[in-house]
Amino acid sequence: MHPPVPDSEDASGGDGDHGIEDRPLPKHGADVVSATTPPAAVDGPLDPDDIDDEDEPGFDLGRRQIITALLAVAVIAGVLYVGLPLLPGIEKSFGRIKDGQPHWLAVSFAFAFASFAGYVLMFRGVYKAGGNERIDLSASYQITMAGLAATRILAAGGAGGLVLTAWALRQAGMDKRAVADRTVTFLALMYFPYMLAIIVGGLGMRWGLFPGPKTWGITVLPALLGMAIIGLALAAALVPADLERRIEHWGTGGGRRARIAQRLANLPASASTGVRGAWAHVRRGDLVTFGAFLYWGAQVASLWAAFQAFDQTVPVAVVTLGFFIGMIGNLLPLPGGVGGVDGGMIGALAALGYGGGVAVAAVLTYRVFAFWLPTIPGFFAYLQLRRTVARWKDERKARRAARDGDADVAPASAG
Predicted pLDDT at 10: 39
More confident: 107 or 181: 107
Of 76-90, 102-116, 294-308, 392-406, minimum mean pLDDT range? 76-90
Phi, psi of 31 (to 5 degrees): -85, 100
Percentage of the residues of the chain whose pLDDT score is greater than 90: 35
Reported as a pLDDT band with limits 50, 70 and 90, residue 196 is very high
Phi, psi of 39 (to 5 degrees): -70, 135
pLDDT (mean) for 318-338: 81
Cα 237 from Cα 277, distance rounded (Å):
9
Cα 388 from Cα 145, distance rounded (Å):
14
Predicted pLDDT at 268: 74
Residues 6+ apart with CB under 8 A from 45: 21, 22, 23, 24, 175
Per DSSP, what are the bridge partners of residue 23? Answer: 39
| Beta strand extents in 16-106 (DSSP E only) | none
Percentage of the residues of the chain whose pLDDT score is greater than 70: 63
Cα 57 from Cα 142, distance rounded (Å):
14
Reported as a pLDDT band with limits 50, 70 and 90, residue 142 is very high
Q: What's the pLDDT tens digit per position in 343-385?
A: 899 999 999 999 878 888 899 889 888 887 787 788 889 889 9
Cα 356 from Cα 350, distance rounded (Å):
7
The three-state secondary structure class of 145 is helix
Residues 6+ apart with CB under 8 A from 27: none
Per DSSP, what are the bridge partners of residue 39? Answer: 23
Is the pLDDT at 35 greater than 60? The verdict is no
Q: What's the pLDDT tens digit per position in 259-317?
A: 555 565 567 777 888 899 899 999 988 899 999 999 999 999 999 999 999 888 999 99
